């Protein structure tokens, strides 16, 4: 009977027409929509908006009816879905939304995607697997994929990422859910994962504040205690939360933890502590987003505050949303009683409810559409395996080798083709993808030892392998439990005894599971962490054994004597991009950067330095603007100004040059026929790229678009995009699309002095070079550099038109400009000419954060290769980065040190820069320099033009050069 009710209910869900849930104008602006919805609610319904109810799609009609009752009777604010199936959840979501007076916020705990909860959905990698990857672009890519997946199913909030630092290997509840033990890596990966989800339109939630990593008790069962001082928490546990808050995370989940240094009230967990939520999170860390409690049904707090009392305590503490309280009516009753007793006030409730409603509006709940079930499962799984394969490949970690210089045949050699190979799988199923690959690819002999086998039975296999005189023996550990527990990850003592006999000099042990289980293999001759145990990860392992790629992963946790960050980066492999631990060597760098802010050379900056392929320094200073509380973050995006010349145009010219499509000795008219019969036609590309073609340095194109009184011409501009006026110049300012023709006419008519005789740094040179790239490739410059460099290098922030990809608050403002655009320039290019040209030009228009920009220049320093991909030839880089002029210090496109730098009174760019150094500076306060002699990449990004370009302090104080000097001194003590 119940089963038939359930079937009828699901059928009704599918067939019911989807109606607008809130009877309010969905086109109202946010504040008016919030006020309208709030006023429509009774007092009890307002309280219910703060309640999240547990929901499953694998339970029967009684469960569905109970939730429907909570929605219809109380108007609960949110649901948290757990186990079930995607189509069933979609149907139930549609059904519940139809019943609701106010749109329901749908949440889920999907740390590694919907596959964590739902059948038929492939899970994404665990966070600890992602923590082994050195490139946070993959964390961002996974976050975006997870976000799109959630959005497709009608989920609005994902309780992820976990940014707890797993610094206690006995932690029973975090473990594989954490990015690892390194606070910098946890923060960096957490920010990237969060950004990916939120850029996909899903609210992320940093958890479990203030840090659940260093506990030995599961808060589902009891209240864990953390005996650390506030200073210790600030230094370690709180660091990732602070970074995610700076980066714009929209919500935080509060954990059930007893931290006496925060609140020593007996049994008062942080989730119900005003000191923790209001004092520490809100006031000290400045978080103003949404706060969720961890599940209030968990024994860590529920055992001490039964019934509705815990909900009251959570609200008094400062939380917004109550996750899974014991009962909806009990919670509403308890809150009303607390209001009567004046423990809570309606003004507090109103603020919380309006914060929740605003979040719903921002998540698009004012414009709800039903979740379509057509091809739903296929859509949810569309990109998962692609992401899994990328992460599996970059995570694979060579932990230990007999010879750290590389593989040698005497112990274990790759590739294995033509060798006699044995594979021993420690696996209870007796069938693995890796074994099949080795059998098919190498005709390997396959053996299995089951964990439940007695020592003697496994010993039979050991004897056969040892007597087989194999060139290489692969020992694969599979079926490893996620948590250690009493079973030691499921690895039996007898299996380990057999392994110790097989652990010979020509053997490699590959562990497909939680890297904490590597503690069983401290004596391994050669050890590889493969992290997860499915066909994708096993195929990647087989590819590595076949030398199809080199390992670049690093351990996310400390195991045996291998500290987190350990990983043998094999020759030809990718650079390890890791956020460094604080180092006293760089105190001078900190001081110079901070002094620049004090003297108002710039409001904010980011400094990055890499040595020998590792990031050794990466810090953010100051704020977006003076006298604000909007701090610069490591992933803040800057207008690169003239660094565009080398980061977009020059590298494009280099690629086309080595492909034989550009000849620097040829003339402009050879590539741009429309320049014929002008003074520019006979200019050689060599003179142009060396800035000695004789062109004027700068043309103020914008002046011709203004009236005599300085206002913009009405025939050329519109305040909103319209037909023929879609070229955005700034906020609420669009120029006629064909004005680009006027720009080129002005350039062509500008004067030219005799070429090759005088060095005149000119933006116009790179206007032409950008057009040449477009003419040859038949692609816009922005598309060509994305396809050729930025996308394959996973440079997620680098590109033109950042507002098309990122929210405004991610981008540093430049100038409060007067005389043309008359507004704060933020997210559109500062250079007026590039703005008039549509935001894309060969000389300006590029935006990036420091980390992504570093990938491009590390690739150049590596000789044209990164992450196993080749982008340019070493010879091409050497050619363009060398000196090429008798009248200037220039290379082809690149700026270089003065030729007499070693003896100059005013050395440029740094006293210690070698003659091999190349790079560029930018007008907005940016620079990048590569020194191949010392294997150093240095990047400085600032917004020194805020609030005005008429600020000479960055240059007069020589801040960029002094920081570069300090980095050289720190990294090369013998200088």
Active site residues per annotation: 220, 294
Q: Which residue has the tokens 């302090």?
A: 953
Q: Is the CB of residue 394 less than 8 Å from the CB of residue 134?
A: yes
Q: What phi and psi values does residue 55 have, to the nearest 5 degrees?
A: -140, 140
Q: Which residues contact 421 (CB under 8 A, 6 or more apart)?
A: 438, 442, 443, 444, 445, 470, 471, 472, 473, 474
Q: Which residues contact 330 (CB under 8 A, 6 or more apart)?
A: 307, 308
Q: Is the dihedral of CA 271, 196, 187, 170 positive or negative?
A: positive
Helix (H, G, I), strand (E, B) or coil at 97: helix
* Residue 888 C-alpha from the chain's centroid: 41
**Angle ∠(221,222,227) on CA atoms, nearest 5:** 140
Q: Which residues contact 618 (CB under 8 A, 6 or more apart)?
A: 579, 580, 606, 607, 608, 609, 634, 850, 851
Within 10 angstroms of residue 750's Cβ, the number of other Cβ atoms is 15
Token duo for residue 904: 């100059």
Q: Which residues of 31-41 are buried (b: 16+ CB within 10 A; e: fewer)?
A: eebbebbbeeb
Beta strands at 926-931 and 918-922: parallel, antiparallel or unpaired? antiparallel
Q: For residue 628, give Cα distances in angstroms to 279, 594, 954.
A: 21, 16, 20
Beta strands at 926-931 and 936-942: parallel, antiparallel or unpaired? antiparallel
Within 10 angstroms of residue 551's Cβ, the number of other Cβ atoms is 21
Q: Is the dihedral of CA 905, 908, 913, 916 positive or negative?
A: negative
Token duo for residue 759: 């060095």
Within 10 angstroms of residue 645's Cβ, the number of other Cβ atoms is 27
Q: Is the CB of residue 357 less than 8 Å from the CB of residue 34?
A: yes
Residue closest to 111 by CA, chosen among 178, 51, 58: 178
Token duo for residue 894: 């690149």
CA separation for the pair 638, 848 (Å, rounded)? 6
Give the H or E element holding residue 449.
strand 445-449
Q: Is the CB of residue 192 less than 8 Å from the CB of residue 139?
A: yes
Token duo for residue 28: 């109202």
Helix (H, G, I), strand (E, B) or coil at 6: helix
Q: Is the dihedral of CA 601, 606, 611, 612 positive or negative?
A: negative
Q: For residue 69, give Cα distances in angstroms to 46, 63, 354.
A: 17, 10, 24
Q: For residue 662, give Cα distances in angstroms to 630, 654, 677, 875.
A: 45, 9, 22, 16
Q: What phi and psi values does residue 422 have, to the nearest 5 degrees?
A: -120, 140
CA separation for the pair 944, 904 (Å, rounded)? 27
> What does 700-731 look like in DSSP terms, one character per residue?
-GGGGGB-TTSPBPTTTEESS-BTTB-EEEET
Within 10 angstroms of residue 321's Cβ, the number of other Cβ atoms is 26
Q: Which residues of 350-377 are buried (b: 16+ CB within 10 A; e: fewer)?
A: eebbbbbbebbbebebbebebbebeebb
CA separation for the pair 810, 195 (Å, rounded)? 10
Name the maximum alpha-carbon separation found in the chain: 97
């Amino acid at each position: 009977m119940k089963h038939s009710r359930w079937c009828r209910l699901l059928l009704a869900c599918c067939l019911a027409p989807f109606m607008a849930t809130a009877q309010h104008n969905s086109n109202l602006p946010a504040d008016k929509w919030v006020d309208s919805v709030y006023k429509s609610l009774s007092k009890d319904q307002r309280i219910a908006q703060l309640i999240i109810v547990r929901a499953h799609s694998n339970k029967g009609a009684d469960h569905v009816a109970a939730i429907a009752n909570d929605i219809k009777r109380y108007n609960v604010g949110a649901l948290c879905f757990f186990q079930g199936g995607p189509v069933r959840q979609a149907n139930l979501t549609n059904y519940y939304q139809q019943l609701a007076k106010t749109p329901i916020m749908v949440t889920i705990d999907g740390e590694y995607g919907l596959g964590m909860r739902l059948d038929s959905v492939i899970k994404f990698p665990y966070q600890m697997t992602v923590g082994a990857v050195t490139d946070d672009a993959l964390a961002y890519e996974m976050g975006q994929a997870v976000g799109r997946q959630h959005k497709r199913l009608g989920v609005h909030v994902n309780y992820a990422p976990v940014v707890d630092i797993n610094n206690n290997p006995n932690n029973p509840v975090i473990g594989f859910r954490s990015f690892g033990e390194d606070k910098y890596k946890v923060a960096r990966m957490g920010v990237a994962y969060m950004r990916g989800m939120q850029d996909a339109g899903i609210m992320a939630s940093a958890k479990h504040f203030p840090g659940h990593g260093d506990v030995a008790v599961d808060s589902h069962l009891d209240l864990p205690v953390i005996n650390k001082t506030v200073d210790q928490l600030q230094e370690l546990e709180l660091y990732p939360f602070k970074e995610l808050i700076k980066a714009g995370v929209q919500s935080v989940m509060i954990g059930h933890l007893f931290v006496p240094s925060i609140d020593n009230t007996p049994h008062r967990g942080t989730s119900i502590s005003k000191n923790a939520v209001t004092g520490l999170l809100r006031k000290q860390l400045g978080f103003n987003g949404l706060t969720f409690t961890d599940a209030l049904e968990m024994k860590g707090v529920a055992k001490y505050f039964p019934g509705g009392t815990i909900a009251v305590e959570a609200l008094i503490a400062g939380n917004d949303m109550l996750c899974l309280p014991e009962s909806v009516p009990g919670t509403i009753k308890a809150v009303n009683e607390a209001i009567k007793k004046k423990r809570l006030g309606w003004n507090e409730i109103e603020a919380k409810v309006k914060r929740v409603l605003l979040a719903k509006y921002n998540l698009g709940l004012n414009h709800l559409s039903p979740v379509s079930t057509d091809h739903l499962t296929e859509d949810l799984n569309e990109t998962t395996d692609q992401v899994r394969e990328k992460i599996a490949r970059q995570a694979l970690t060579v932990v230990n080798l007999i010879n750290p210089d590389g593989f040698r045949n005497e112990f274990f050699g790759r590739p294995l083709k033509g060798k006699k190979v044995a594979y021993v799988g420690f696996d209870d199923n007796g069938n693995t993808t890796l074994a099949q690959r080795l059998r098919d690819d190498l005709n390997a002999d396959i053996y299995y030892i089951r964990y439940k086998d007695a020592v003697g039975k496994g010993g039979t296999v050991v004897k056969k392998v040892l007597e087989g005189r194999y060139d290489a023996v692969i020992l694969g550990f599979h079926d490893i439990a996620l948590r250690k527990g009493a079973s030691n990850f499921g690895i039996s003592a007898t299996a380990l005894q057999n392994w110790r006999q097989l652990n010979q000099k020509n053997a490699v042990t590959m562990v497909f599971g939680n890297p904490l289980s590597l503690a069983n293999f401290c004596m391994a001759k050669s050890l590889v962490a493969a992290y997860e145990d499915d066909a994708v990860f096993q195929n990647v392992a087989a590819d590595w054994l076949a030398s199809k790629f080199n390992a670049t992963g690093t351990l996310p946790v400390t195991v045996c004597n291998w500290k987190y960050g350990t990983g043998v980066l094999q020759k030809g492999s990718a650079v390890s991009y890791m956020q460094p631990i604080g180092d006293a060597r760089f105190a001078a760098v900190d001081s110079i950067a901070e002094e620049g802010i004090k003297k108002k050379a710039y409001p904010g900056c980011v400094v990055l330095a890499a040595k020998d392929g590792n990031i050794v320094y990466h810090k953010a200073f100051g704020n977006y603007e003076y006298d604000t509380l909007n701090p610069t973050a490591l992933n803040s995006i800057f207008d690169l100004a003239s660094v565009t010349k080398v980061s977009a145009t020059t590298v494009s010219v280099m690629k086309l040059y080595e492909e034989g499509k550009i000849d620097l000795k040829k003339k402009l008219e050879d590539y741009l026929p429309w320049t014929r019969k002008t003074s520019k036609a006979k200019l050689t590309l060599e003179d142009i790229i060396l800035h000695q073609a004789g062109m004027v340095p700068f043309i103020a194109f914008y002046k011709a678009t203004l009236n005599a009184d300085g206002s913009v011409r009405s025939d050329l501009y519109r305040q909103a995009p319209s037909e023929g006026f879609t070229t955005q110049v700034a906020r609420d300012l669009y120029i006629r699309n064909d004005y680009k023709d006027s720009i080129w006419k002005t350039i062509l008519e500008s004067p030219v002095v005799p070429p090759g005789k005088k060095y005149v740094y000119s933006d116009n040179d790179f206007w032409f070079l950008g057009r040449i790239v477009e003419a040859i490739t038949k692609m816009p410059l922005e598309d060509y550099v994305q396809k050729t460099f930025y996308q394959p290098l996973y440079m997620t922030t680098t590109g033109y038109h950042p507002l098309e990809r990122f929210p405004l608050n991610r981008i540093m403002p430049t100038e409060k400009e007067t005389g043309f655009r008359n507004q704060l320039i933020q997210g559109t290019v500062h250079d007026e000419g590039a703005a008039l040209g549509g935001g894309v030009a060969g000389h300006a228009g590029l935006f990036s954060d420091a980390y992504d920009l570093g990938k491009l220049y590390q690739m150049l320093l590596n000789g044209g290769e990164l992450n196993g991909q080749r982008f340019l030839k070493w010879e091409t880089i050497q050619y363009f980065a060398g000196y090429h002029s008798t009248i200037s210090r220039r290379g082809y496109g690149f700026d270089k040190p003065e030729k007499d730098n070693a003896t100059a009174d005013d050395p440029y760019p740094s006293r210690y820069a070698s003659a091999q150094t190349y790079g560029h500076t930018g007008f907005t306060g940016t620079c990048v320099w590569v020194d191949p002699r010392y294997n150093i990449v240095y990047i400085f990004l600032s917004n020194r033009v805020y609030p005005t370009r008429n600020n000479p302090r960055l240059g007069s104080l020589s801040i960029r050069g002094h920081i570069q000097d300090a980095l050289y001194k720190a990294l090369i003590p013998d200088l």
